[in-house]
Structures are given as structure tokens and as C-alpha cells.
Structure 1
Amino acid sequence: MKKNAPAEPLPTVLFVCVHNAGRSQMAAGYLQHLAGDRVTVLSAGSEPKDQINPVAIDAMAEEGIDIAHNVPKILTVQSVVDSDVVITMGCGDACPIFPGKRYEDWELEDPAGQGIDSVRVIRDDIKRRVEALVAEIAPAR
């Protein structure tokens, strides 16, 4: 009998923005929704807010993705160490860099203080980027 090969470790993706209340939360929500158990998803902020941006929550709810119960988290060196892919969204020099990691910087407008129409545009841009990421790192089985 042939034994099953050990399972490949899941890729871990960390989304980072300043407040961990909008862009990174929307990206994490999309990645979890689109890739499910094929990835481990983390998000954090260099200066996290107390709660998720309510307009971002509403925009994601329109897509059937619930981020309302997420809590902004502080960016730690360990979360970067634990990640295979680190995607920054305007966190500047606050994001630690480690050799051997894949880094991408997604230039996205900050949804803070913006209305739903503007946040939908940001959300849709994030969705396109996450879909491309999923196709690359966690294709359907």
C-alpha cells in the first residue's frame, strides 16, 4: 500500500495597513472567502484603530462577506516571521522586512472617512488583486 505524502504547509498571507480597519480587513475577508482552507490569513496594522470601519463592513456585506466581528490587531514582528507573503497597503516604514519573504505593496486609497461609493471602488480593486493572488498561491484543487 502506498502511503499518502505529507500535506504541503498552507501558505500564510499577512495583509498590513496603518489602522487594520479597512483595506487590510477587506483583503483578508476576500482571501478567506475565495481561498478557504487553502491559505492561512492574517491582518494587522502599525497603528490599529479600536474597530473596523463601518463603511468597509457594509461594502463587504454587499459581497456576502462578514467582517463585522473582526478586531484590528497590532502588527508584530512574529506575524511577519510567520507569513510567506506580506502585502502592505500604505504602512510605510513601520513594516519589518525579512529576507526570503514575498513582499508586495498595494497602492490603495484609504477608505477612512469615505462614503460607500468610494469604498466600493477600493473594495473592487482589492477583490481583483486578491483573485490574482489566489490563482497564484492557492489555485483550486
Structure 2
Amino acid sequence: MKNGYESKFIEAITKDVLGVLNFMPMNVAKHPVGINSRVQDILDLLQAQTNDSVRMIGIFGMGGAEKSTLAKAIYNHLIMSCHGFEGSCFVANIRQEVSNKGHNGLVGLQEMLLRKTLKRKSFEIDNIDEGISLIKTRLQ
């Protein structure tokens, strides 16, 4: 507590509390049928390996199969249960953004991912390759 350690401790607590309070969960239907068991199945898959490696899942299926709803429910669960994340970002409608804006749509999504995850007001990326490199280095 001497030499400013108390203020650093209070600052760390404040940062953690604000991170939890500022989380806005994704909108998911109030009573989606069968979603809890599907969320749990995917969470079990994500926890299957205990090393600190990056894990990725893909959700695919026909249109209207509630893929986005499932992804939002998993995102909400992970963010609410694992307060260790310094930042998070849910990227939705990727196909639509890229098809509407082409190259600029993908660059815009890369900028949004970095901006929200790193909690910065702006991020400027000139091209897709630069965005890939920035994401790799900044989000290791």
C-alpha cells in the first residue's frame, strides 16, 4: 500500500468493474427452444483441450437454422462467465458486409474487430493484408 501501490490496486479494481458493467449482451430470444443444450455442447468442445491454445469453432447450416442465435448465446455465456477478457467483439453479418462493400467491407470489419477488442476510438487499416498482420500481432 506504500509508494502508490494502493492507487494502482484501486485502479485495477475499477478497470475490472467497468469492464463487467460496460458489457452489453447480444440480443437473444427469451425462450429459444433447445438452445441451452446446444450452447453447453459447444462449450464442452471448447474446453476439451486444457492448454492455452486458441480455439475456434464454425457454425454452419441452412438459412433459418438459428446459427446466429446460437453464436450470440455462446458469446454472451463466455463473456459473462469469463471476466478475464480484456476486450471482446461480436462480428455479425460478415457475408452481407463484404458483398455490399467488397474490399472496403472486409477492411471495415477488421478495423471494427481491432477497435472494439483493443478499446480504441479509431483504427485505420489500408488493405486486407495489413489488417491480417495487425490482427495477428495485436490479438496474440
The TM-score normalised by the length of structure 1 is 0.26
Between Structure 1 and Structure 2, which shows a larger proportion of strand residues? 1
Between Structure 1 and Structure 2, which shows a larger proportion of helix residues? 2
The TM-score normalised by the length of structure 2 is 0.26
